[in-house]
A = this chain, B = another copy of it.
Amino acid sequence: MDAALPLPRYIDATDPSPLSFSVCSLVADQTKYDRLLASFARLGFTPENTEFLAADNRNGNVFDGYTWTKTLLAHARGRYVIFCHDDVELIEDGYDALLGWTDWLDRHDPSWLLAGVAGGIYKPGGFKHRQLALHISDINGADRRRGTVPGRVETLDECFILMRRTRPVISSYDLNGFHYYGPDICLQAELLGGSSYAIDFHLWHHGQGQKGRPFRQLRRRFAGKYQHFFPGRILNCTTGPVILGAAPPAAPPVEPGDAGPA
């Protein structure tokens, strides 16, 4: 009977990843993506230490912001998984700098789950004014700094987000589209009991930042979802604040003693 037993793989807690990084991108534009690839190669990301995975939107939107990270995470083999837009370009900080930041995060806060380059400072009690933490070059200017990096944030811009493959965070299944998936995954990290950081990893984000009707619609749905769990909170996002309304109607009253001892 023992001869018929399947052969299991016994697994311990060490991370056997053969690669340091899985660089995952949502790719719609080949020219932009080639610029990304060349910039990573120039700054120390080699085939020996890094794999590049592309969620293929070149012929139409097969993926949106909430689905592509799940699919690529299931393929990734790196110790750290980076999710970044195809219009990101590394300029000075590279492989060594990024590994240095993961070491810093491990030492500074073992409960870290996400790291990015731009976000809204963590202060769940609320703000009068928007407070961001970032070091980035983008449509608003080269080599911009706001707040203090590294620093804990409550949201991250989705242009660049990093996590550990064996300590993942998943995006919402009840939101879709191309906005707010950075803030969404940060709130999911918070619900999981972990934290998010903006680090000083300077890159170019060549994106435009569109705030049309789909943006406003998704902001409404995003706020409608999270006001259940964080009522009254004002979330600082790189795209502007999001006000979470009061808690929706509560569950019907419960009489004391109904459910037995806790």
Q: What residues of chain A have their CB less than 8 Å away from a CB belonging to chain B?
A: 1-2, 4-13, 15, 25, 27, 33-34, 37-38, 40-41, 45, 47, 50-56, 58, 62-63, 67, 70-75, 111, 113, 124-128, 130, 165-175, 188, 191-194, 219, 223, 225, 228-229, 231-234, 240-243, 246-247, 249-254, 258-262
Contact = CB atoms under 8 A, between A and B. Distances in A.
Nearest to A234: B259
Closest 10 CB pairs of A and B: A174-B193, A250-B260, A8-B52, A253-B259, A247-B261, A173-B193, A10-B56, A243-B262, A241-B259, A229-B229
A4 B41 CA distance: 7
19 contacts: A6-B40, A8-B25, A8-B53, A11-B56, A125-B251, A126-B251, A126-B259, A167-B173, A219-B262, A231-B261, A232-B251, A234-B258, A234-B259, A241-B260, A246-B262, A247-B247, A249-B262, A250-B262, A253-B259
Q: What's the number of copies of this chain in the assembled complex? A: 2
A194 to B, nearest CB: 5
A172 B165 CA distance: 15
With a 10 A CB-CB cut-off, give which of A55, A70, A128, A250 has the most chain B CB atoms: A250
Contact of A62 (B12, B111, B128, B240): B12
Nearest to A187: B191
B54 A37 contact: no
